[in-house]
Amino acid sequence: MGTEVARQFRAAGLEVIGTARTADPAAGVLALDITAPQQVHTLLRETRPDVVIHCAALTNVDACEQQPELAYRVNAFGTELIAAQCQQRGVVCVYISTDYVFDGAKGAPYHEYDAPNPISVYGRSKWAGEQAVQALCPRHYIVRVAWLYGAHRPTFPHTVLAQARAGKSPVAIVDQIGSPTYVVDIAERLLPLLQTECYGIYHLTNTEPVSRYEFAQAILQAAGYSIEPTPLTMADWRVPAPRPAYSALISWRLAWAGVPPMPSWRDALQRFLAEHRQV
C-alpha cells in the first residue's frame, strides 16, 4: 500500500520521501526501522515532513500469533515512536489500521463507532497502535483498511489466478466475510481526506460485503476461467491465528467529511484485472 500511496502522491505533484527497511536510492527510498527510536527521531528531524503516512506493519497474521513480541514491537511500539515524534514536530500522523481490530461477532458491517475487540495478536497489536496514535498525537487519521490487493506485491487475486493457470482449483473460505479492497482506491481518497482536517477514525474499503469464496469465484469468472474454487469452512481451516468470521467495514465518516465514496468491490476488481492483465 505504501508504494501505491507514494506513486499517487508524487503524481499529484507532492514531494514524497519513501522509507523501507532497506534503502533503495534509485527509487528515492530511505532506510528506516520503525522500531529503532533513534532512526525515527533522526528521520523526522532531518526530513521535516508535513504528514507521515504510516503503512509499515508486521502484516502476516499467523507470524504475529507465533511471534507476539515482534508483532507488538513493530505494530505497537513502532507506531508509538512515530506518533510521539509527529506530535513533537507538529506533523499530521496517518496510521493505517485493520478490520481485524473487530471480533466478527456483529454479523453486519462495522462502522467507525463500533467498539474494537480483537481476537488475534495481530489485531490486538494493531489496536494498541491505534490507541497510541489517539493518545499521543491529536492531529491524526486512523484509516482502517481490509483484504488489500494491488499490483505491487502478490496478493489474493494473484494466488487465485496462479492456481487457475496451473489447472488447479483454488481453496477459498466460504464463511469468512469481509471487504476486499484495491489499494489504488484507498490511495486516491487519502489526499482529499488529508485536506479535510477532520481528524479521527475512517473505514476505507471497497463497499459490499463478500465471502472469500465468492471473491475467488468472481476473480476466476472475470479472468475467463471456468474453474470453481474449492470451498473450505473456517472450522476446517487449520491456521495459527483466529480470524474474525465477519469483518466487513462500512464508512459513515468518509461521507460526513465530504470525501468521495469508495466504489464496490466488483467495480474495483474489474479495474484491477483490466489494468494488470499480466496478473
Ligand X SMILES: NC(=O)c1ccc[n+]([C@@H]2O[C@H](COP(=O)([O-])OP(=O)(O)OC[C@H]3O[C@@H](n4cnc5c(N)ncnc54)[C@H](OP(=O)(O)O)[C@@H]3O)[C@@H](O)[C@H]2O)c1
Nearer to ligand X, 243 or 253 (CB): 243
Q: Which of residues 77-96 bind ligand X (CB under 6 A)?
A: 78, 96
Among 6, 146, 173, 257, which residue sits at the site for ligand X (rule: CB under 6 A)? 146
The Cα–Cα gap between 278 and 39 comes to 38
According to CB under 6 A, which residues from 189 to 208 bind ligand X? none
Q: By C-beta, is 153 or 168 nearer to ligand X?
A: 153
149 a catalytic residue: no
Q: C-alpha cell of 223?
A: 479472468
Task: Please identify, using beta-carbon distances, which residue of 98 and 163 lies nearer to ligand X.
Answer: 98
Number of H helices, E strands in the chain: 11, 12
Under the binding rule (CB under 6 A), the answer on residue 1 touching ligand X is yes
**Pairwise CA distance, residues 264 & 178, whole Å:** 12
Show the cell assigned to 86.
509527529
As measured in angstroms, the least distance from the Cβ of 224 to ligand X is 25
Handedness of CA 104, 108, 109, 110 (dihedral sign): negative
Q: Which residues contact 236 (CB under 8 A, 6 or more apart)?
A: none
Of 165-184, binders to ligand X (CB under 6 A) are: none
Strand partners, 207: 264
Q: Round to whole Å and give the CA distance between 98 and 126.
A: 7
Q: How far apart are CA 133 and CA 213, in angstroms?
A: 35
Of 29, 43, 56, 101, the one binding ligand X by CB under 6 A: 56
Tell whether residue 58 is a contact of ligand X (CB under 6 A). Answer: yes
Length of the chain: 279
Stretch 4-43: interaction string toward ligand X, x if CB under 6 A: ----------------xx----------xxxx--------
Which of 44, 148, 248, 250 is the binder for ligand X (CB under 6 A)? 148
Q: Which of 122, 141, 149, 199 is catalytic?
A: 122
Instruction: Based on the shown chain and the rule CB under 6 A, indicate whether residue 121 belongs to the binding site for ligand X.
Output: no
**Phi, psi of 59, rounded to the nearest 5 degrees:** -95, -10
Contacting positions for ligand X (CB under 6 A): 1, 20-21, 32-35, 55-59, 74, 78, 96, 98-99, 126, 145-148, 153
Residues with catalytic roles = 122
